Amino acid sequence: MTTNILLFKITLLIYFATTILYLIGVVSRRDRFRQNAVYLLIGGFVLHCITLVVRGFTTGAIPVASMHESLSFFAWALVGTYLLFYLRYRTVMLGAFITPLALVLMIIGTTTSAQAPTLNPILDSWWFPVHVTLAFLGHAIFSIAAAAGVMYLLQERMLKSKKFSGLFYRLPSLDTLDSMNYKCLTFGFPLMTMGIISGAIWANSAWGGYWRWDPKETWALITWFLYAALLHGRLTIGWRGRRAAIFAIIGFAFLLFTFFGVNLFLSGEHGFRNFTGQ
């Protein structure tokens, strides 16, 4: 177990260093810092992959069962998705928003118990990892959409007000950011939908009912409707740009609430303690 914790902490440190490098890169207007930040992030991601694999082998399951594992997995999916976007769009700046987010997830992860969870036998099903993996990949993609949304709003504000900060020269074009929003929706929405469906199937095998309206399910559904509305608006009535960016940010806020808030403030079947029988 200790190897695993050590790997986790080193990964966290690398993300921390990357965040600092990005910060310097954004402030100092040197491209070199930001470019090196991406390379460092790639290194961190590789190590994170190893961390998850080691963890998986020690616990004998995909490491998504406890809060600690979920946070780590979420951060991993986030960084991985960003790097995929980096390959496609070469947007170095997006990482300046994504890396701190991954770092925060990892830091929260350190505050939760790293004990290997023992899954409640009635929940031990093949559908469980499928459900969680799909859900987190969706989360990661929607996080990217939200980050692109923030960048869009910043850039749009500057173009409208005609007051430019140094950031203007480094942010990608509005078109690029908007097309990222669309790409994220077209990939994230199906993932989220499949995540919910696989969750329902799993719930059926565990409790004998597909949908029980527990708080997490309810909030997930609200979030799903929000993204469905955005996708619909984009495809049919030409929603784009600012409105789409704002929607992506609101959607992400709901997503975070569904993930954290429900566990913290509301109780239901999705609480990790129900999984692990603690």
Partner 1 sequence: MHIVIVGLSHNTAPVEIREKLAFAPTAMERPLRQMLELPVIAEGLIVSTCNRVELCAATKEPDAAMAALRRFLAEYHEITSEEISDSLYDYQGEDAIRHLFRVASSLDSMVLGEPQILGQIKTAYGYAAEFKTVGLILNRFLHKAFSVAKRVRTETGIASNAVSISFAAVELARKIFDRLDNKAVMIIGAGEMCELAARHFVANGISKVLVTNRTFERAEKMAAEFHGKAVHFESFIEHLAEVDIIMTSTGAPNFILGKRQMEEVIKRRKNRPMFLIDIAVPRDIEPKVNDIDNIYLYDVDDLQGVVQANLKERKKEASKAEAIIEQEIGQFHQWLGNLEVKPTVIALRQKLDEIRQQELEKTFGNLKNLSSKQRKSIEAMAGAIINKILHQPTAVLKRAQNDTSSEDYVDAVRVLFDLPSPIGDDTEIKPLDDTGQE
Q: Which of residues 137-156 bind partner 1 (CB under 8 A)?
A: 155
Please identify which residue in 110, 133, 179, 218 interacts with partner 1, judged by CB under 8 A: 179
> Based on CB atoms, which residue is closest to partner 1, 52 or 171?
171
Residue 87 touching partner 1 (CB under 8 A): no
Type of residue found at 16: F
166 binds partner 1 (CB under 8 A): yes
Single residue of 29, 88, 90, 273 touching partner 1 by CB under 8 A: 29
Judged by CB, which is closer to partner 1: 182, or 210?
Answer: 182
Among 239, 249, 268, 269, binds partner 1 (CB under 8 A): 239
CB 25 within 8 A of CB 33: yes
Among 164, 211, 213, 225, indicate the residue that binds partner 1 (CB under 8 A). 164
Task: Give yes or no for residue 174 binding partner 1 (CB under 8 A).
Answer: yes
Cα(165)–Cα(170) distance, rounded to whole angstroms?
10
Question: What is the separation, in whole angstroms, between the first and last Cα of the chain?
Answer: 19
* Of the residues 51, 70, 81, 176, which one makes contact with partner 1 according to CB under 8 A: 176
Burial of 256 (0-12, 13-18, 19+ CB in 10 A): middle
Q: How many CA atoms lie within 13 A of 36 on its CB side?
A: 12
Q: Which is nearer to partner 1, 108 or 154 (CB)?
A: 154
In order of 66, 73, 184, 220, 248, the CA distances from 227 in angstroms are 27, 23, 11, 11, 8
